[in-house]
Amino acid sequence: DGVIEIRDLTKRYGRTTAVDRLTLTVRPGQVTGFLGPNGAGKSTTLRLVLGLHRPTAGTALVDGAPFTDRPRGLRHVGALLDAGDVHGGRSARAHLRALARSNGIARSRVDEVLHEVGLAEVAGRRVGGFSLGMRQRLGIAAALLGDPPVLLFDEPFNGLDPEGVRWVRGLFRRLAAEGRTVLVSSHLMSEMEQTAEHLVVIGRGELIADENLAQFAARS
Ligand code: ADP
Ligand code: ADP
């Protein structure tokens, strides 16, 4: 359970090839780092896995099926995509309650995840007043809401202070130790070093490396 299989995946926007014949498998039980410079195609790949974009060619499967139909929604795959992109007028709690409702998740999970990400005390405040770090925590709470076996985090370290970075690293390792699939994108190798066990590196949409972090570090 929780295997992501990407086969010959390609996504073009006009003349830009954002993802170029990407093939890789992401497995449960470890943190997989997804490394590449800005514009490498990381977000596009994660969005294709989530079925938020249609591939130009190839497939992205989660547990053998495209995620497009979202049969289990947030109870299958949870994702932090663009933390800045949250409706600012609602409170953190109201935001998560709406997500819980539309995904058939028990309302009691909302306060659990708010506590887990350290936002319990600001749960009633408007998200519009949140710092980027607080928005990242809220996005992580949304990803955790459905207790999913598969978790995707796009640039989760952005805006976090050093304490927040330590916290999120521990969280990712714990989620992986629970047997979940944890895929974390970043443009900084330094963020991966104490986070990921496995590393997938892409550049210009193409796969550059797919190996154990220690192996990668030994070569570069
Ligand atoms: P990363 O997440 O690694 O920074 P992206 O997946 O965001 O990379 O972008 C990969 C490439 O695709 C970039 O050249 C980007 O400009 C382009 N791109 C991404 N989304 C769109 C879009 N909606 N329309 C046009 N070009 C896009
Ligand atoms: P709206 O913003 O229109 O209320 P939602 O936020 O409920 O829409 O999201 C629409 C769909 O996207 C839902 O079926 C939900 O499962 C999915 N979705 C929303 N946020 C996430 C997320 N963080 N991770 C994975 N899927 C998500």
CA 114 – ligand 1 centroid, Å: 31
Burial 3-21 (b: 16+ CB within 10 A, else e): ebbbeebbbeeeeebbbbe
Name the residue of 49, 85, 103 whose CB sits within 8 Å of the most ligand 2 atoms, as the mutation to test its pocket: 103
pTM of the model: 0.91
CA 99 – ligand 2 centroid, Å: 7
Nearest residue (CA) to ligand 2, atom 16: 73
User: Pairing relation of β-strands 30-35 and 198-203?
Assistant: parallel
Q: Which atom of ligand 1 is nearest to the CA of 44?
A: 6
> Is residue 4 predicted with pLDDT exceeding 80?
yes
Nearest residue (CA) to ligand 1, atom 15: 39
The residues facing 182 across adjacent strands are: 31, 151
Name the residue of 9, 15, 43, 52 whose CB sits within 8 Å of the most ligand 1 atoms, as the mutation to test its pocket: 43
Give 100-129 pLDDT, tens digit per residue.
Answer: 999 999 999 999 999 999 999 999 999 999
Q: Which two tokens stand for residue 217?
A: 């570090």
ipTM of predicted complex: 0.76
Nearest residue (CA) to ligand 2, atom 12: 73
- End-to-end Cα distance, the chain: 33
Determine the Cα–Cα distance for residues 147 and 143; give it in Å rounded to an integer. 8
Give 60-95 pLDDT, tens digit per residue.
Answer: 999 999 988 667 889 999 999 987 777 889 999 999
Nearest to 4 by CA among 61, 44, 58, 45: 61
